[in-house]
Amino acid sequence: MAATIIDGKALAAQLRAELKPRIAALAARGKQPGLAVILVGDDPASAVYVRNKIKACEEVGIRSLYDRLPADTGEATLLARVQALNADPAVHGILIQLPLPAHLDAQRILDTIAFDKDVDGLHPTNAGLTMMGRPHFRSCTPYGVMKMLESVGAKLEGSHAVVLGRSNMVGKPMAMLLLAANATVTIAHSRTRALVSITRQADVLVAAVGKRNLVTADMVKPGAIVIDVGTNRTPAGKLAGDVDFDAVKEVAGAISPVPGGVGPMTITMLLVNTVQAAERAVERPASGAGRSRR
């Protein structure tokens, strides 16, 4: 039987609709959630991602501030800008579009964002809190994947979840959220041996590698839930994931497509985190300036 297709676009629309009353409640208290986005350089793909994020903000009623800085921006300038945004009470979330140009130390810049404005969940404090099972901001992509799993009623407790990829942005926080949901988690990476024997044990398989058709039908246990985070291009320039979708959907119980799967969810969870940050700022009696923990 062919798999249930997990429609990330539809789920994202539902979650965005659920944000509107929360944003209206903030407006009633004189607050509008604000997201600052910084793009350094002219990478065309990054410019598209940023545009999509800003459009998504506008659609739900989040105010966006967009800094597009030249590729040769110095680290001191960028750090000063982040610090100014940290101190701005109208800004509840700060996002630095990655990758940054090579002359900038990305981790140092991410570390400078106040952890309670770090809506991407990449600050060490947020990564650490997630690892401890008490997340403050969940990293957007893994958070979106958890919502997708919830949408198909995945029974994670006691299940075996296999995550392909161990990046700080996707693989590791993904594994931590699955672990917090009481799954038994295996993380695989480029040095993993006998990958097929591992993936075939997975009740839940999350592919976050960036290699088209890495996951083939013979690697998937019948009935498994397969979430495809990968974004790759076909030779014809079409967007494709890490999973051989047409073949795997005949084996899996549920599967997310690319496009229309994880992508729209990632942006949506950024909006969710920004609204949550604004709600916290309203509850907090202090100045509204972000707290730094470096």
Q: What is the set of active-site residues?
A: 53, 97, 120
Tokens 């993904």 belong to which residue? 174
- Cβ at position 286, least distance to ligand NAP in Å: 33
Cβ closest to ligand NAP, residue 148 vs residue 188 = 188
**Token output for 223:** 């009935």
> Would you say 162 and 201 are in contact if contact means Cβ atoms under 8 Å apart?
yes
- Cβ at position 67, least distance to ligand NAP in Å: 22
Separation of alpha carbons 176 and 24, rounded Å:
33
Separation of alpha carbons 86 and 200, rounded Å:
45
**Token output for 229:** 């985070």
Told to check if 121 binds ligand NAP by CB under 6 A, we report no
**Token output for 228:** 């495809």
Cβ closest to ligand NAP, residue 254 vs residue 258 = 258
- CB under 6 A: which stretch of 66-74, 99-107, 206-214, 280-288 binds ligand NAP? 206-214
- Cβ at position 199, least distance to ligand NAP in Å: 9
Told to check if 206 binds ligand NAP by CB under 6 A, we report no
Q: Which residue of 37, 114, 209, 272 would you call a contact of ligand NAP, by CB under 6 A? A: 209
Q: Which residue of 46, 167, 184, 213 would you call a contact of ligand NAP, by CB under 6 A? A: 167
Find, among 19, 15, 10, the residue nearest to 60 by Cα.
19
Told to check if 253 binds ligand NAP by CB under 6 A, we report no
- Cβ at position 212, least distance to ligand NAP in Å: 9
- CB under 6 A: which stretch of 11-19, 148-156, 259-267, 275-283 binds ligand NAP? 259-267
CB atoms < 10 A from the CB of 38, how many?
A: 22
Spatial CB neighbours of 192, under 8 Å, sequence gap ≥ 6? 198
Size of the site for ligand NAP (CB under 6 A): 26
> Would you say 117 and 92 are in contact if contact means Cβ atoms under 8 Å apart?
yes
Tokens 């997310």 belong to which residue? 256
Q: What are the distances in angstroms from CA 130 to CA 5, 121, 134, 137, 244?
A: 29, 9, 6, 8, 31
- Cβ at position 281, least distance to ligand NAP in Å: 26
Q: Which residue of 29, 134, 191, 193 would you call a contact of ligand NAP, by CB under 6 A? A: 191
> ω before 44 within 30° of 0 (cis)?
no
- CB under 6 A: which stretch of 70-78, 84-92, 124-132, 207-215 binds ligand NAP? 207-215
Told to check if 199 binds ligand NAP by CB under 6 A, we report no
Q: How far is CA 125 from the centre of its chain?
A: 17
> By the criterion CB under 6 A, which residues form the site for ligand NAP?
141, 164-167, 169-171, 188-192, 195, 208-211, 214, 229-232, 262-263, 266
